[in-house]
Amino acid sequence: MTKVVTFAAGGTAGHVEPAIAVAHELSAHGFKGNTEKLECKFIGTKSGIENQLVVAAGFPLHHISKVTLPRKISVSVLLWPFRWISVLSQTFRLLRETDLLIGFGGYVSAPCYVVAKFLRIPIVVHEQNAKPGWANRLGACFTSNTTITFASARRTGKCWSQAQLVGLPLRDSILGLASSDAHERTRRRELACKEFGLDPALPVMLIFGGSLGAERINQSVAEALPTLLKCGVQIIHGVGRSNKLPISMPGYVPLPYLENMADAYAASDLILARSGAATCVEIATVQNYAVLVPLAVGNGEQRANAQELVDEGAAELLDNSHLTGEWLTHNIGRLMLKATQQRDNRQAKLQPNAAQLMAELIRSLLVKGSR
């Protein structure tokens, strides 16, 4: 007998990577202690990063159309109901043989929640952000099996008040880096710097704006780059898959996408990044000092995500409009000093394995459903 778990996760790496971590955990141990088979499959769209990440992870990926809520009055408002009905039909066909649905938010999750509720398929919702998005707010209306990354999310509404705090499922490579002692971290830094073609004796700044990149961050780096390199600061720069790749030079490593985040964190002293949920949790886990620049749109979730790190003195917030090349060059000395202090106070620690906690919840629900 095979149990089928479907993951609704697409659009950005922040949605997809945690889902993959849980799928790997489920696949590694199966259902009922390997006595019954368990199959994991994903639903996404043809345009999202899931087409690279899920396929590379070895899981089957099925597509539905991308349907977003219109944000202003236009022709798209009139067409939206027809597109919504179409995507519900596509989702219905994909979920008919599913025993449990787990959604990680985003536009892929919303139709999956609706169809799963109609088909009476058990639903698990995982909310990465401190402030839930509209898709997961919808999903939380259909199930009591809600899980969260940040405890503060419980204060955002009645549906979340009893949510299970599990944290964010992370890759084993990042958890392994966090558990390394000072000697091992030094060794890993040297190896990672050599992998990137950098000098481990000089400071390294890791800069990225998520899987799609961030125009403001990229522009500021371009403006500040000559001065930063002159000051001896080396840079690993994830520019985003959709952006033109700058020319590399000694001490500057531009990449379209950071495939191995554990090595990037191991090599770096200071981080400049957006404050998506995955980024904030990973930074807290590896204990590098960071400057976090919340995305200026949305419901304020990126600023809320970063607040715990800021309160602990492990990061500082910078408004998107304040980030410039001039700001970077004027503050790099102060920031590197803080990064050094953070590194010197860092201690190896075992992190709770959110993927394992999620897998345990899913297995318990599958057991109930099989009785």
Q: Is the pLDDT of residue 244 over 50?
A: yes
CATH at residue 276: 3.40.50.2000
pLDDT digits (tens, 9 = 90+) for 2-53: 899 999 998 888 899 999 999 999 998 776 655 568 999 999 999 888 999 9
Contacts for 337 with CB less than 8 Å, ≥ 6 apart: none
Cα 222 from Cα 90, distance rounded (Å):
44
CA 219 – CA 222 distance, rounded (Å): 5
CA nearest to 177, candidates 238, 265, 257: 265
Which residues have C-beta within 8 Å of that of residue 1, sequence separation ≥ 6?
36, 37, 370
* Same domain, residue pair 165 and 203: no
pLDDT, average across residues 303-330: 94
List the end-to-end C-alpha distance of the chain, in Å, as a whole number. Answer: 13
357 shares its domain with 338: no
Q: Examine the domain organization and report whether 89 and 47 are in the same domain.
A: yes
Please state, for a pLDDT cut of 70, what percent of the chain lies above it: 94
Convert the pLDDT of each residue in 248-287 to its tens digit.
999 999 999 898 999 999 999 999 999 999 999 999 999 9
**HSE-up (13 A, CA, CB side) for residue 111:** 27
- Quick: pLDDT tens for 142-162: 999 999 999 999 999 899 999
Distance between CA 237 and CA 252 in Å, rounded? Answer: 8
CA of residue 363 relative to chain centroid, distance: 23
214/146 same-domain check:
no
Q: Are residues 290 and 337 in the same domain?
A: yes
Mean pLDDT for 71-100 is 83
pLDDT number for residue 371: 38
pLDDT digits (tens, 9 = 90+) for 331-340: 999 999 999 9
Q: Inform me whether the pLDDT recorded for 192 exceeds 80.
A: yes
Q: Is the dihedral of CA 97, 101, 103, 109 positive or negative?
A: positive
**Residues 178 and 300 grouped into a single domain:** yes
Give residue 11's pLDDT. 84
3-state secondary structure of 252: strand
Q: What is the mean pLDDT of residues 184-191?
A: 96
Q: Rounded to whole angstroms, how far apart are CA atoms 72 and 49?
A: 26
β-bridge partners, 273: 208, 292
The overall average pLDDT reported for the chain is 91
Give the separation between CA 109 and CA 98, rounded to whole angstroms. Answer: 15
Which tens digits make up the pLDDT trace of 348-363? 777 778 999 999 999 9
- Number of structural domains the chain divides into: 2
Domain containing 275: what range? 172-345
In this structure, the answer to whether residues 264 and 160 fall within a common structural domain is: no
Q: Is the pTM of this model over 0.85?
A: yes
For residues 239 and 116, membership in a common domain is answered with: no
Interstrand relation of 270-273 and 204-208 (parallel, antiparallel or unpaired): parallel
**Are 149 and 288 within one domain?**
no
